[in-house]
Amino acid sequence: MDKLFTLFEKSSDAAFAVDADQRIIFWNHTAERLTGYTIAETAGKPCWRLLCGVTNEGIPLCRANCPIILQIKAGKPVYNVDMAIREQTGLSIPVNLSTIPVGPEHGNGEKPFLIHLMRPLPKPGSQFGAFRLYLLGPLRAQRLEGSFVNGLYWQNAEVRALLVLLAQAYPAPLAANELAAALWPKLSGSIAQGVLATSVTHLRLSLEPNLEDPDDSAYIHRNAHGYQINPNIPLWCDLDYVTAQLETARLEPNPQRAKTLLQELLILFRGDYLADLSKTAVWSLNQHLYTEKLHLTILETAGDLLQQLDQPQEAKKLYLSALMLDPDCTTAYQKLIHLALPHNGKVAALQYCQRLAATLRRELDIILDEEFRELLEET
């Protein structure tokens, strides 16, 4: 089995193996790049819970005893299938999946298992096929074909910050002296320019590890005006996407569809804005506060919608999440109180609010402000 896995470890296809219980026992580095899930994150996980694959029609394909498993158990041939899987950020990736059943005779007498091969597919008319940047948390970058950027050079915060600066200027170029001054303000001009040239090379090699000549990069160009992300490559940014989709969700007449849109947006929030670059020139307090407010707005908007759909417990969870994000979010307090009123009556609602106050103080270390106390008295 180990020898077989060694062969697939070198495959350019994303490959993983599952045992008879559909738990992942092998995950190669190409699968890491494609999905964003590390080998450690996938080990022992049920493949269907991790990937959540659906057909092109949106019908769930990944599940316990999925159709592929049933075909194999019935002794029938298994054909490859086009499907969409969920990657680490929660968005979907279209892939073609093929399956190789491996019996005991090929696995050194061990129990049979399955090897799945995934090849990314283009998805016209969607954000897939764009160069994608995720800023709502530690920076993540996803190449055109869907794999995530990693590697030794990518571990350098200044290399990642350089990419963010170029993305902020996209599609225009940034002058080399501006980039050098922004990233290395304490260095002299000539030294900073030298460090910039090295960082550009490292960024290009991070994006295209097999690049023989860094100047031939398809992603990062240089012209007379400076450096830029190739303007012919579509650039997708989670922050821009969330801002636009929030408005779409607000205008969506179908409550269930609006709920789905908002849930998809909440998945994109993986932490504080550029959490890994807070010590660099690309981070700003104003942008941090803006993204925090945007997150709060989506949490409360989704909570309000769940109330309309008569799902008070789910709405309550979102309002509490808003309080964990911002203990001074008075509107979340108010909505929790009003959530209790129609179900329990005023006396019961007041008791609920008192328990809520105690819980917030004990579990979240939130001290209620005067405005909330006045709200309790009014109730």
135 falls within a domain: no
pLDDT at 344 over 70: no
Report whether pLDDT(286) > 90. Answer: yes
Contact 326, 292 (CB under 8 A): yes
Dist. CA 316–CA 336, nearest whole Å: 7
Looking at the domain assignment, is residue 177 inside a domain?
yes
Any idea which of 185-189, 216-220, 274-278, 331-335 has the lowest mean pLDDT?
A: 331-335
Residues 296 and 253 placed together within one structural domain of the fold: yes
Say if residue 173's pLDDT is above 90. Answer: yes
CATH number at residue 262: 1.25.40
DSSP state of 105: G
Can you give the pLDDT at residue 365?
Answer: 60
- Checking if the pLDDT of 93 tops 70, the result is yes
Burial string for 229-239 (b: 16+ CB within 10 Å, else e) reads beeebebbbbb
Residue 134 lies in a domain: no
Output 350 or 299, whichever has higher pLDDT. 299
Asked which of 70-79, 199-208, 336-345, 359-368 is least confident by mean pLDDT, the reply is 359-368
**Whether 109 and 149 share a structural domain:** no
Report whether pLDDT(363) > 50: yes
CATH number where 203 lies: 1.10.10.10
Q: Are residues 355 and 253 in the same domain?
A: yes
Q: Is residue 131 in some structural domain?
A: no
Does a structural domain hold residue 87? yes
Structure tokens at 93: 């990736």
Q: What is the mean pLDDT of the chain?
A: 86
pLDDT at site 86: 85
Domain end position, chosen among 68, 87, 120: 120
For a pLDDT cut of 90, what percent of the chain falls above it? Answer: 50
Give the pLDDT score at 288. 94
* Domain of residue 178, residue span: 145-232
Task: Please tell me the total count of domains within the chain.
Answer: 3
Q: What is the pLDDT of residue 103?
A: 74
Do both 244 and 371 map to the same domain? Answer: yes
CATH (domain of 101): 3.30.450.20
C-alpha–C-alpha distance, residues 327 and 349, integer Å: 21
pLDDT digits (tens, 9 = 90+) for 260-276: 889 889 999 989 999 99
Domain boundary among 56, 85, 120: 120
The predicted pLDDT at position 80 comes to 86
Token output for 48:
């269907």
Cβ–Cβ < 8 Å for 319, 306: no
Same-domain status, 327 and 274? yes
